Structure 1
Amino acid sequence: MSRNAFIDYWVESNMMSMDIATQIFNILKQPGHNYLTQDDFKPILRELLSTHHGLEFLQNTPEFQERYAETVIYRIFFYVNRSGNGRLTLRELKRGNLISAMQHADDEEDINKVLRFFSYEHFYVIYCKFWELDTDHDFLIDKENIIRYGNHSLTYRIVDRVFSQIPRKFTSKVEGKMGYEDFVYFMLAEEDKSSEPSLEYWFKCIDLDGNGILTYNEMQFFFEEQLHRMECVSQEPVLFEDILCQMVDMIFPENEAYFTLQDLKGCKLSGHIFNILFNLNKFMSYETRDPFLLRQEREDPTLTEWDRFARREYIRLSMEEDDASIGSGDVWDETLE
């Protein structure tokens, strides 16, 4: 497009009178649409990959460029497209933090400092985790693969709910398998339980009858398997009645007979409720919290659970002397430097 053609477009579209979010929305969306799809973000990612100094090392590896772009877009839609329908509206764009993240990516030379959506390290952690679980590398994951996630931290009952596609319909067309996009949503939900999209994801899983409330019977159904697992690893079992009192004290629900999604969204400890019910490793870690880690959290409260997890995982991956590689060996080596 020539300079004059661009100026004509800008003036005729009345762009000068719009705020930046509306400008971006109108530039990206397809004619006749009042929403953005995942495909609408691909030009932005192509431009970012071709011009950002922090992503130059990917220019000779188109497969990694493609995976990075996909992951960024999936992260955007997980957090910003709150309706979850794949159609991101102008209202959602304005309510989210995507515009500020785009501006940050434009200004910051180190892409890994752009924690919202664009960090290469965050992409690397997600992709490596998927690759570790996808043992036959067909880019599909089944229940048994997910059971291995987080050192077998999740219960079979919660994994069944995920694969019943209760919290979100899979984009994979293969029955009983989740694809990479489905995994990204799952992993963000699992590792960032303080976020509202994550709370909504797991709330749907626990809400067995879909009536919008979590009853004590529903929560006990999931905790029963946790109790059995505690006994199997010689942990002192905790009675559900005691756990229930602890959860009520944490959430302070409007009605003590059940929890609503609003109850959970109003409490900073809500994510731990789900760990109690179906993630034994995180449940036990919380019960024996390291004071040093707690101090770290207080020192930088702007970091999310996901930010902290991704940083730990990236350091772990970087320290591992593993000869296995994804794509070319040169790419693997560069990413760990």
Structure 2
Amino acid sequence: MASDSPSLLERLKIGLQQNVSGSIKKTQPVSDDEKREMEEAEFEKIYSELKQAIKGESSTTCTDYNTIPQFYVKLPSEDELLQQKLREEARAVFLQRRSRQLLDNDELQSLWFLLDKNHTPPLVNEEKMVNYKAFQQVAKEAGDKCTPFFTATIYAKLLQADPYGRISIMQFFNYVMRKTWLHQTRIGLALYDVAGQGFLRESDLENYILELIPTLPQLDGLEKSFYSFYVCTAVRKFFFFLDPLRTGKVKILDILACSFLDDLLELRDEELSREQQEMNWFSAPSALRVYGQYLNLDKDHNGMLSKEELARYGTGTLTTVFIARVFQECLTYDGEMDYKTYLDFVLALENRRAPQSLQYFMRLLDISHKGHLNAFDLNYFFRAIQDQMRQHGQEPVSFQDVKDEIFDMVKPQDPLKITYQDLVNSSQGDTVVNILIDLNGFWSYENREVLVADQTETEVESTATSS
């Protein structure tokens, strides 16, 4: 097909004429041989430039699949033993190298002495401070491992309302300690990441916690026969909150970002109070409490819970309709619930405000899996509350009144539908759940004003007695 654009040869000729004529104008008259040499030189120059330009254009318009860099490497299969071993060894070497880059205890102690020696007076409430000049001086003396911590950005982050523009050496040292601990823990968790993809499967996390137990003094009293139940109890909390979509794995970064690992490692403190232990899901008293409740509910001692046995949970005021929905939606074995499924149930009920718990309850309350709750769903569950009220000799409350109150509390975007996000945004999701599944929860809501008044009166009497 004809084209209006000049051919390569024509472009060369035009360029040659322009360059040669320009050269001739600027120089003395030349012979024919000299002119021919100049033309050939200019020809070679322009030709090479045009060829390079055309090559660049073709590389952007033509697809050469051989030049695409590899961006996916398939994991070795189970029968590829050599590849698996090579990958494991490479990861181990990498993690060892990263571990050697971290500060050890002696180096941390030396860093503290340097900070203390170079602190900048005056003291602030007996707390030693350091200005930026001294901060840089410590950086020079501390060594290469400390270099990443001595940046202007970190200094600015720790800067407070000090009139001299200084930072607290204690806050800075705690920052270094925390960062070092996070990196150490990250490497420690990565050792259990069999796939090497930044995730831990349930079995990986179980192995990590099982090998961690001997290092936690607060768990010294646990019988070894209980270890498997303790590990299951501990791992379930990680997966309930960090894997709400039930993918079977959690990100190592998510484990580090949440507070669960801090709670678990808090058990290293030999002087942890009884109250602190009871509030810590990972403590021995807490694990024994949850497992003890499970055994008490299991009346036929078959290691599983039936609907009738689970209905006795807590004060026994959960409705039969709600219990039935639990068995319809959750994993069961021949119609009975195992300990792992029971742990999800307990975690949801004990943390009703958490978004993950509301997601759990939403799945149960949304009978037809339509993604929202409507008046039919609310009525379906509240009728069981009304039946319980009649059994206790109480006059049932009108459903219409309760429905209106729920919609007023939640204020959904659609006035006829309540979504999971509506429950989260309203901060009233736990109250809605209490009203619909638990007679005690509904009674507490109905008598909230009386309960608040009684609590206030008790606090006033307690204050008067103490004074």
TM-score, normalization by structure 2: 0.55
**Counterpart of 1:136 in 2: which secondary structure?**
coil
Q: Match for 1:69 among 231, 236, 242?
A: 231
**Counterpart of 1:265 in 2: which secondary structure?**
helix
Q: Let me know the Cα RMSD of the aligned residues.
A: 2.9
Tell me the residue number matched to 1:231.
Answer: 390
Q: Distance in 2 between matches of 1:88 and 1:8?
A: 22
Q: Match for 2:434 among 262, 275, 278?
A: 275
Deviation at 1:86, TM superposition (A): 1.9
Evaluate the alpha carbon distance shift between residue 291 and residue 135 of structure 1 in structure 2; reply closer, same or farther with a 3 A threshold: same
Deviation at 1:214, TM superposition (A): 0.7
Tell me the residue number matched to 2:247.
Answer: 85
Tell me the residue number matched to 1:189.
Answer: 348
Q: Match for 1:31 among 166, 174, 195?
A: 195
Q: Distance in 1 between matches of 2:93 and 2:269?
A: 24
- C-alpha contact 1:82 1:92 (8 A) present in aligned 2: no
- C-alpha contact 2:325 2:364 (8 A) present in aligned 1: yes
Q: Which has the larger radius of gyration?
A: 2
Q: Distance in 2 between matches of 1:141 and 1:177?
A: 5
* The 10-residue stretch of structure 1 (90-99 or 261-270) with the greater mean CA deviation from structure 2: 90-99
Tell me the residue number matched to 1:253.
Answer: 412
Q: Distance in 2 between matches of 1:45 and 1:83?
A: 23
Q: How does 1:199-214 map to 2 (within 5 A)?
A: 199-214=358-373
Q: Distance in 1 between matches of 2:431 and 2:336?
A: 28
Letter in 2 for 1:291: V
Are 1:54 and 2:218 counterparts? yes
Q: Distance in 2 between matches of 1:88 and 1:179?
A: 22
Deviation at 1:221, TM superposition (A): 1.1
Query: What per-residue deviation string (whole Å, max 9, x for no partner) do you get for residues 20-76 of structure 1?
Result: 364344222113444212221234323442132212222xx2122332222111122
Tell me the residue number matched to 1:148.
Answer: 312
Q: How does 1:163-174 map to 2 (within 5 A)?
A: 163-165=327-329, 168=330, 170=331, 174=333
Tell me the residue number matched to 1:138.
Answer: 302
- C-alpha contact 2:322 2:381 (8 A) present in aligned 1: yes
Q: Distance in 2 between matches of 1:108 and 1:76?
A: 24
Are 1:161 and 2:307 counterparts? no
Tell me the residue number matched to 2:374.
Answer: 215
**Counterpart of 1:36 in 2: which secondary structure?**
strand
- C-alpha contact 2:219 2:283 (8 A) present in aligned 1: no
Deviation at 1:87, TM superposition (A): 1.0
- C-alpha contact 2:234 2:281 (8 A) present in aligned 1: yes
Aligned residues: 284
- C-alpha contact 2:217 2:267 (8 A) present in aligned 1: no
Tell me the residue number matched to 2:336.
Answer: 177
Evaluate the alpha carbon distance shift between residue 215 and residue 46 of structure 1 in structure 2; reply closer, same or farther with a 3 A threshold: same
Evaluate the alpha carbon distance shift between residue 23 and residue 110 of structure 1 in structure 2; reply closer, same or farther with a 3 A threshold: same
**Structure with greater contact order relative to length (CA < 8 Å, sep ≥ 6):** 1
Evaluate the alpha carbon distance shift between residue 64 and residue 139 of structure 1 in structure 2; reply closer, same or farther with a 3 A threshold: same
Evaluate the alpha carbon distance shift between residue 251 and residue 8 of structure 1 in structure 2; reply closer, same or farther with a 3 A threshold: closer
Evaluate the alpha carbon distance shift between residue 108 and residue 75 of structure 1 in structure 2; reply closer, same or farther with a 3 A threshold: farther
Evaluate the alpha carbon distance shift between residue 99 and residue 150 of structure 1 in structure 2; reply closer, same or farther with a 3 A threshold: closer
Q: Distance in 1 between matches of 2:340 and 2:271?
A: 27
**Is there any run of 5+ residues in structure 2 with no aligned partner, and where?**
1-91, 103-147, 149-178, 457-467
Tell me the residue number matched to 2:266.
Answer: 104
Q: Distance in 1 between matches of 2:213 and 2:273?
A: 11
Query: What per-residue deviation string (whole Å, max 9, x for no partner) do you get for residues 255-307 of structure 1?
Result: 22111101111233211211211211221133334338967xxxxxxxxxxxx
Q: Distance in 2 between matches of 1:15 and 1:292?
A: 59
Query: What per-residue deviation string (whole Å, max 9, x for no partner) do you get for residues 161-195 of structure 1?
Result: 11112xx4x2x5x2101100111111111232111
Q: Distance in 1 between matches of 2:215 and 2:247?
A: 31
**Counterpart of 1:259 in 2: which secondary structure?**
coil
Q: Distance in 2 between matches of 1:117 and 1:126?
A: 9
Tell me the residue number matched to 2:424.
Answer: 265
Tell me the residue number matched to 2:206.
Answer: 42
TM-score, normalization by structure 1: 0.75
Q: Distance in 2 between matches of 1:232 and 1:71?
A: 36
Letter in 2 for 1:286: Y
**Counterpart of 2:370 in 1: which secondary structure?**
coil
Q: Distance in 2 between matches of 1:49 and 1:87?
A: 21
Deviation at 1:245, TM superposition (A): 1.7
Evaluate the alpha carbon distance shift between residue 266 and residue 15 of structure 1 in structure 2; reply closer, same or farther with a 3 A threshold: farther
* The 10-residue stretch of structure 1 (24-33 or 177-186) with the greater mean CA deviation from structure 2: 24-33
Are 1:10 and 2:10 counterparts? no
Deviation at 1:234, TM superposition (A): 1.4
Tell me the residue number matched to 1:332.
Answer: none
Letter in 2 for 1:97: S
**Counterpart of 2:315 in 1: which secondary structure?**
helix
- C-alpha contact 2:217 2:268 (8 A) present in aligned 1: no
Tell me the residue number matched to 1:243.
Answer: 402
